[in-house]
Chains A and B, each alone.
Chain A
Amino acid sequence: MIEFDAVTVIYPDAAEPVLSGVDLRIGEGELCLVAGPTGSGKSTLLGAVNGLVPHFTGGLLRGRVRVAGRDTRTHRPREFAGHVGVVGQDPLAGFVTDTVEEELAYGMEQLAVPAAVMRKRVEETLDLLGIAELRRRPLRDLSGGQQQRVAIGSVLTAHPRVLVLDEPTSALDPTAAEDVLAAVTRLVHDLGVTVLMAEHRMERVVQYADRMLYLPGDGRVLDGPPTDVLAGGPVLAPPVVELGRLAGWEPLPLSVRDARRRAPALRARLAGRPRPSRPEPGSAAALTARQIVVRYGEIIAVRKVDLDLRVGEVVALMGRNGSGKSSLLWALQGSGRRRHGTVDVTGRDPAELPARKARRLVGLVPQTPSDLLYLNSVAAECAQADRESDARPGSCRALLDRLAPGIDDAVHPRDLSEGQRLALVLAIQLTAAPPVLLLDEPTRGLDYLAKARLSEIVTELAAAGHAVVLATHDVEFVAGTASRVVVMAEGDVVADGPTVEVVVSSPAFAPQVAKVLSPDPWLTVAEVEQALT
């Protein structure tokens, strides 16, 4: 179905090719997972399938890419519309119309499909993806998971044989991600569509994949069944695979089910061994919030929430999209809306202080960290941060070097990788030395390495006496980092307690290791490793 012959892609101004000499044959009905660290060329590989690389992005492509017998050299992306369906990371950015039904029909209108056929296909696709009740809804009002399913549906109506998905679940909560992945696997199994999917959170996808393309970042592509690719060396892997490596299971388990079948022996070995203790937070209160209410017109986003943070504590704030996590963070910081309630940080309420002083009490890194960056070099941003915080010149740069060493002063912030950009914004916010730090969705777009580094950073910050709150969907990150979990639903706090207690019993929020080893309360591979040695 998809053929790559000695494909080399090099972008202008780049010293090394992103892909070099890639040969691939992907057959019909395969679900192919494309993985690798940030910047390793996953998006380039996906874009090359329908010719967006190089027709749309620029750059030089040597070799030959053929899909369904058509060469991307002679056919432009629009001529692949009937063969390849492409869904980007942010579905909202790719929508052309404004209601679900029209969006599903758009691609077919371009292909001049007769009206009667269009109507039929729209109805079929609505049912196939389980979005029939949304048909007349405006696209902007849908939740993230619904939008992603509509985006998949909107390319499916053209009946493509190949579906290319670029991080389809990166912004979704675990349950919404399950919905999208269920829809995708159904397409592969029932319709025999070939799916090429890039994903950072391999733990969500790898069990469904027939094949894995791993891009280590040097232009090569490691190709093979997931177990073989993951077994073959220093490849970033999901926790269940790491656990398999640790326990020496052969072949490597890809799903919780595989691992659980082998787990009794490991559980027996672990029985009686103490869980490595996590650093206890101090007893002093860092932040005390009482009766916080946030409402937008009729919608109540946060409903009389009380929250206490202690010095040196890392709290994870979880819950589905739209459950009020971000609203709560912004209300705590003081620059967001707050209808009612009090926040007390060292005796003062950040909402009553000017923004300049509030950020010395509570620092917040928003969901899109780049919103905070507007200067044209890292050095300029750092200097500006020092001035804003009345800090000694060089403080921000020193922080940045601790968080992410080796970033060149002259680089434009937009050219940094996601992880580096997050580190820069974190450094800027830390320059003001706030005792409380709030991070909204910090793991978005980070690969396993960057996430591990972020986890270290957060732990260090907590050890230095900061109280840190992470609003996130990433259960694995929470399991490895947070000492306490607060779960929100519809603006209420529905659970609040130590990570082990809240997370192990929850079907949606339990990390893979907990699922494999339950009822014993192990959360991460690192813990298991420590206990065994």
Chain B
Amino acid sequence: MTVRLPRNLHPGAWWLWALGLATAASRTTNPLLLLLIAAAAGLVVVNRRSQAPWTLAFRLYLLLGCCVVTGRVVFRIIFGGGEGEHILFTLPQIPLPAWAAGIRLFGPVAAEQLLGGLYDGLRLATMLICLGAANALANPKRMLKAMPSALYEVGVAVTVALSVAPQLAESVLRVRRARKLRGGAQRGMRALHGIVIPVLEDSLDRSLALAAAMDSRGYGRTGDLPRRIRLLTGALVLAGLSGVCVGVYGVLDATTPRYLGLPMLGTGLLVATAGFVIGGRGVRRTVYRPDRWRPAETLVALCGLGTGALLFLTAEVDAADLYPSLSPLSWPELPLLSAFAVLAGALPAWLAPPPPRSSV
């Protein structure tokens, strides 16, 4: 047994784990299971997040989740359609003209209707919370660095854009303040002119300075691939990614034909990887302090993916518990197997190495 030192986990591991949990959440509307999944994700975040500012984003995702649930329920009350027998209360209905037949505003509100909205919203919210957990646990910029080298340029563009945005805001503020020094009496288009021109000039100067700096520091040194290879790379990557999209849709939506699911996902991944490998071969570049994939990464990823896979399987075996019935209205039950599967998803709270305490 080796000593486990605090370190940052590979961001890819956290993303795989979170996607696994999200897949699990997409497979059920059982509110008990969904709450359990959200709780598992929350537990891991609380136990293993670092002190960096982006970890606070998790709160935003929780808030967003609440909004989604509320939104769904409110939507069902307004356009409820009055399905279900257990009427809780009746709102005055707003009569609509004949051409809007089929749409009903307000009217009687049934328990089935509310619960349907709640379950649906909860599922979406849980998936969001899973993604939020990944965002809070994995440094988004390390993720960019871990990307295959063919995607490196995208990463650079994102980093530069992220640092340019505050500069732009800064120069807008500066110029606006400076406009006041000249009286700033104009309004409308003329005033805009007085702000836009200096800001644009400023940002152009900055971009040129940045481009010159990047050029003289060796950016894009050996990126000269033959045109044929570039076209091939592009085609492979695009086709592969489209395949992955279709595949993910197939996996998440149980009603699509089976061959659109896992097989499509696999093929898409293969094709895209081939594209990346071919594109990356010509690039000579290294990464400073790369994140390595070690056993802990595999464990974490397996926990999440395992949860997803188990719920995928139980959906075939015993769908009733995963989709609690609304008619007849029944109390949702907690299926044991699925519950254990979700608990496995919470294990990284202890399995993952603790994050380093930043010294700043």
Cβ of A395 < 8 Å from any Cβ of B? Answer: no
Contact across chains for A52 and B360 when beta carbons are under 8 A apart = no
Q: Given A77, A94, A113, A366, which contacts B209 in the complex, CB threshold below 8 Å?
A: A94
Residues of chain B within 8 A (CB-CB) of A366 are 174, 177-178, 181
Given contacts A366-B178, A374-B194, contact A84 B218 (CB under 8 A): no
B 170-186 binary contact with A (CB < 8 Å = 1; else 0): 00001101111111110
| Interface 9-residue window, one of B158-166, B335-343, B346-354 | B158-166
Cβ of B255 < 8 Å from any Cβ of A? Answer: no
Cβ of A31 < 8 Å from any Cβ of B? Answer: no
Contact across chains for B198 and A370 when beta carbons are under 8 A apart = yes
| Interface 9-residue window, one of B111-119, B127-135, B282-290, B321-329 | B282-290
Cβ of A414 < 8 Å from any Cβ of B? Answer: yes
A 396-439 binary contact with B (CB < 8 Å = 1; else 0): 00000000000000000010000000000000110010000000
Contact across chains for A95 and B182 when beta carbons are under 8 A apart = no
Cβ of A275 < 8 Å from any Cβ of B? Answer: no
Residues of chain B within 8 A (CB-CB) of A293 are none
* Nearest-Cβ distance from residue B144 to partner chain A, whole angstroms: 11
Cβ of B193 < 8 Å from any Cβ of A? Answer: yes
Residues of chain A within 8 A (CB-CB) of B46 are none
Cβ of A71 < 8 Å from any Cβ of B? Answer: no
| Residue of A with least CB distance to B166 | A140
The A36-74 residues at the B interface (CB cut-off 8 A) are 50, 52, 56
Contact across chains for B288 and A388 when beta carbons are under 8 A apart = no
A 310-344 binary contact with B (CB < 8 Å = 1; else 0): 00000000000000000000100101100000000
The B252-295 residues at the A interface (CB cut-off 8 A) are 284-290
Contact across chains for B215 and A56 when beta carbons are under 8 A apart = yes
Number of residues on chain B facing chain A (CB within 8 A): 50
Contact across chains for B290 and A115 when beta carbons are under 8 A apart = yes
Given contacts A355-B183, A428-B182, A429-B181, contact A136 B215 (CB under 8 A): no
Residues of chain A within 8 A (CB-CB) of B71 are none
The A100-122 residues at the B interface (CB cut-off 8 A) are 101-102, 105-115, 118-119, 122
Given contacts A78-B218, A110-B221, A118-B288, contact A355 B162 (CB under 8 A): no
Distance between Cα atoms of A136 and B356 in the complex (Å): 13
Q: Given A50, A85, A92, A108, which contacts B288 in the complex, CB threshold below 8 Å?
A: A108
Residue of B216, B219, B289, B290 with most chain A CB atoms under a 10 A cut-off: B216
Cβ of B87 < 8 Å from any Cβ of A? Answer: no
Q: Given A80, A93, A105, A389, which contacts B216 in the complex, CB threshold below 8 Å?
A: A80
* Nearest-Cβ distance from residue A128 to partner chain B, whole angstroms: 18
The B25-42 residues at the A interface (CB cut-off 8 A) are none
Residues of chain A within 8 A (CB-CB) of B151 are none
Distance between Cα atoms of A98 and B174 in the complex (Å): 22
Contact across chains for A109 and B286 when beta carbons are under 8 A apart = yes
Cβ of A257 < 8 Å from any Cβ of B? Answer: no
Residues of chain B within 8 A (CB-CB) of A335 are 177, 180-181
Cβ of A137 < 8 Å from any Cβ of B? Answer: yes
Contact across chains for B288 and A359 when beta carbons are under 8 A apart = no
Contact across chains for A355 and B289 when beta carbons are under 8 A apart = no
Q: Given A81, A85, A93, A109, which contacts B285 in the complex, CB threshold below 8 Å?
A: A109
Q: A80-B216, A355-B183, A370-B198 are in contact. List 5 more A-B contacts (CB 8 A).
A: A56-B215, A81-B218, A96-B159, A102-B288, A110-B217
Residues of chain B at the chain A interface (Cβ within 8 Å): 156, 159-160, 162-163, 166-167, 174-175, 177-185, 193-195, 197-198, 201-202, 205-206, 209-221, 284-290, 358-360
The 5 A-B residue pairs with the shortest CB-CB distance in the complex, in nearest-first order:
A81-B218, A94-B213, A105-B288, A110-B218, A371-B178
Residues of chain A at the chain B interface (Cβ within 8 Å): 50, 52, 56, 76-82, 84-86, 88, 90, 92-98, 101-102, 105-115, 118-119, 122, 136-137, 140, 154-155, 158, 330, 333, 335-336, 355-356, 359, 363-364, 366, 368, 370-374, 385, 388-389, 414, 428-429, 432
Q: List 11 A-B contacts (CB under 8 A).
A: A78-B216, A78-B218, A78-B220, A93-B213, A96-B160, A109-B285, A110-B221, A111-B218, A136-B358, A371-B174, A388-B185
